[in-house]
Amino acid sequence: MKFTHPTPVAMDNTLEALGSLVGSGPECVTPSQYADSRGRDDPYRAERQLWLAVFEDALAKLAGFGVEAYLIAQDREQLIAAYGQNETILANCGVQIFYAPNRWETAQWISRLTGESTVTMEMISESGKRGGWLSNVNRSFAQIGRPLMTPDEVMKMPGPAKNGADITSPGEMLIFAAKLRIKGRQILYFEDPTFSERSVIPAPRRSDTLTLTTRFTVTP
């Protein structure tokens, strides 16, 4: 997306500011593209920073206007690279879906989100004379905390099985919605009658557009 604002905008209305930025060019800028451009001579760096700031602020307000956002990121580190450690993108996502990550840091974060469970561990100690029978056997039990899924288990979630380019069976995923933590399997849309019917719906001849109706003040 190529922007026309040379300097930061004083945003009296975040949603209208978002509309002005989204509707200002055909090229889309993703967080990863922004992160890749940092530290280089990027002529649109200031404009991209403005777009990211506007979007993060607007995401908390979109639901009140009946707008839904479907966001896709490679891993959490990609969001941190674009928005910093104090990003609020994930906090405004009502439903979060995770597949097996490739980075250990992301797997640790997902493991902590799954929560912990209490497991019982049995400990056995034996004692006796050397070379003879062990006359004393002690058994004890202790309850310890364990993540519902360890980082290693998160990274080993199976993906979809393929036969060449064809998917033959779905993979596993984690779904976090409010206080629910669900481990499930993907839905193959071509095996589901409802999703198969939706997949053949023709695309609209013209998509929705956002029009800027208010002029914003540009700060020096």
Domain range annotation of the chain: 1-93+199-220
Q: For residue 154, what pLDDT is reported?
A: 95
Nearest to 79 by CA among 97, 52, 57, 99: 52
Q: 């056995």: which residue's tokens?
A: 124
- Whether the predicted pLDDT of 175 surpasses 90: yes
The pLDDT mean for the chain works out to: 76
- Residue 30 and residue 36 in contact, taking contact as beta carbons nearer than 8 Å: no
Q: For residue 47, what pLDDT is reported?
A: 60
Q: For residue 40, what pLDDT is reported?
A: 53
If residue 158 lies in a helix (H) or strand (E), which one and from where to where?
Answer: none
If residue 177 lies in a helix (H) or strand (E), which one and from where to where?
Answer: strand 172-177
Q: For residue 210, what pLDDT is reported?
A: 65
Kindly report which listed range (18-22, 49-53, 141-145, 185-189) carries the lowest average pLDDT score.
18-22
Give CA–CA dist 79/71, Å, rounded: 11
Q: What are the beta bridge partners of residue 177?
A: 95, 180
Kindly report which listed range (94-98, 100-104, 188-192, 211-215) carries the lowest average pLDDT score.
211-215
Q: For residue 120, what pLDDT is reported?
A: 86
Phi, psi of 191 (to 5 degrees): -100, -5
Q: For residue 184, what pLDDT is reported?
A: 92
Kindly report which listed range (5-9, 25-29, 85-89, 126-130) carries the lowest average pLDDT score.
5-9
Give CA–CA dist 216/27, Å, rounded: 22
Output the six-digit token pair for 219.
Answer: 């700060």
Question: Which of the four pLDDT bands, split at 50, 70 and 90, describes residue 25?
Answer: very low
What global pTM score does this model have?
Answer: 0.63
- Residue 166 and residue 191 in contact, taking contact as beta carbons nearer than 8 Å: no
